[in-house]
A and B are shown apart, each in its own frame.
Chain A
């Protein structure tokens, strides 16, 4: 990952944020991300995010579970340690279905949780940069990445024109790194010049 430069704007209300997102996309600036205190219906569409592929991953984990269960039980009861259950054949598919089902669900559930954490870059002992702590409380935060095509002053002016209540510029690491929120120095310890309206 790399350290990049961002213009961060704070909004107090949902409708302003929605309009803002639409205008930013129209103007052609690159939205890094939008952080909100609660899920907002339709924001993903307004931001032009593609549908998540998490369910495709889930399907793949699921069939991996199915395959694991069927081949595992099949090998155990036919090759490794054949047992006689009430005279039933060793290859007795109906009896395997419940376990196959369970493993399918287990694999897809655990796999999807881990994939989700990885996609969101959430894990114990890793840290991410917070643009605005109040976006977990009452503020809506929009982060625009400064690219070679957009100048800092332009973006700041634009941000205030769409109704941002507070604006600042931050240099931030985009990826995650090893560290802990309670031990390390970070946004908790310093105000980082957040201008509040």
Chain B
């Protein structure tokens, strides 16, 4: 165990790329604010910011969900690359802060920017919005957003410090049992909070309330599936990158195979939810419900709607089906990038059609902001990876992961 490279040194190119991408992001932010910040209540600007910040926050948080869920289940296979998922989840702190600032700007900055339920005159004359006003109110929104992001950050810090606490200390069997118990408790608390946030209330508040009259009880699950697939893709990318640089000596094709399986399985799960939400609405054919799908299915967003289905369902289904493709580094890299882009597109069509029903306003600004977030994730993850050992070498389940075999 002494021969392995324990510490990640950030290569110069990596640093340049992450700063370059963040620079692109900041440049896009400035140009976008000048171009779109004040015109038409600033909807164009804030919609892009909302889509990107929420999307990237949820995918780095999915890395957190991944290692908490595997901890709770006493899973062992992920131990060789667990530090990578931990490092990705550290990005919840900067991106969570940015997302919170953006949400607060939207809620307190102006009433007609994104959420129509902020407009009191409109709500007063609208029975449906009046009925929802307890839930869709600035107070509830703010409190819930603070709790959501704050607890993600706090529990993330706790989980990561628990993991690092045994780095210099070989555990006895008794200590190991106690350690697993503490880990399980904290992971369980996170999972419960995750269920109350990503898997139920938070996407309703942040995203679904853009179409305030329409609702779908599956919406949060669908969002969760979307971000979990993209999160697994992100983890795979970092694992493959580190493996390519000669780190993570104990990670091999068996682990890659499992990461591929996760992407494959949850792409199918995403499709199932996506289709269930669509098909029930389509079949019932009630105008209050179909209004959501009108611009998406047979309006300006038709292209994105089908592209979404091809990238996020057909491509993973056909490409990831065979065992060999899940064990091939090049295929997994390609699919991971494709899936992250595909689900970004999915979020795009969640946010934009309500305000831009008759045309798709996508341009370089959206991509610039997205690249900025990619740079931020690269920078933050790289920094955390370089600070702590890459292998949780005293974890009781490490051996299980080293000999993992499918």
Contact = CB atoms under 8 A, between A and B. Distances in A.
Contacts of B278: 94
Contacts of B285: 86, 88
A126 to B, nearest CB: 31
A86 B286 CA distance: 12
Interface SS of chain A: helix
A41 interface: yes
Interface residues of A, number: 11
Contact of A95 (B283, B322, B405): B283
A97 interface: yes
Interface string A83-100: 000101000001101100
Contacts of A88: 285
The bracket for how many chain B residues form the interface is 10 to 19
A138 B375 CA distance: 59
A74 B405 CA distance: 45
A51 B405 contact: no
A86 B285 CA distance: 9
Interface SS of chain B: helix
A51 B283 contact: no
A112 to B, nearest CB: 14
Given A51-B323, A59-B321, A94 B405 contact: no
B323 A94 contact: no
A42 B283 contact: no
A187 B311 CA distance: 57
Nearest to A41: B405
B221 interface: no
Contacts of A51: 323
A127 B279 CA distance: 50
B275 interface: yes
B282 interface: yes
Nearest to A42: B405
Contacts of B275: 94, 97
A97 B313 CA distance: 14
B282 A94 contact: yes
Nearest to B297: A94
Contact of A97 (B279, B322, B323): B279
16 contacts: A41-B405, A42-B405, A51-B323, A55-B322, A55-B323, A59-B321, A88-B285, A94-B275, A94-B278, A94-B279, A94-B282, A94-B283, A95-B279, A95-B283, A97-B275, A97-B279
The 6 closest A-B pairs by CB, nearest first: A94-B279, A94-B282, A95-B283, A97-B275, A86-B285, A97-B279
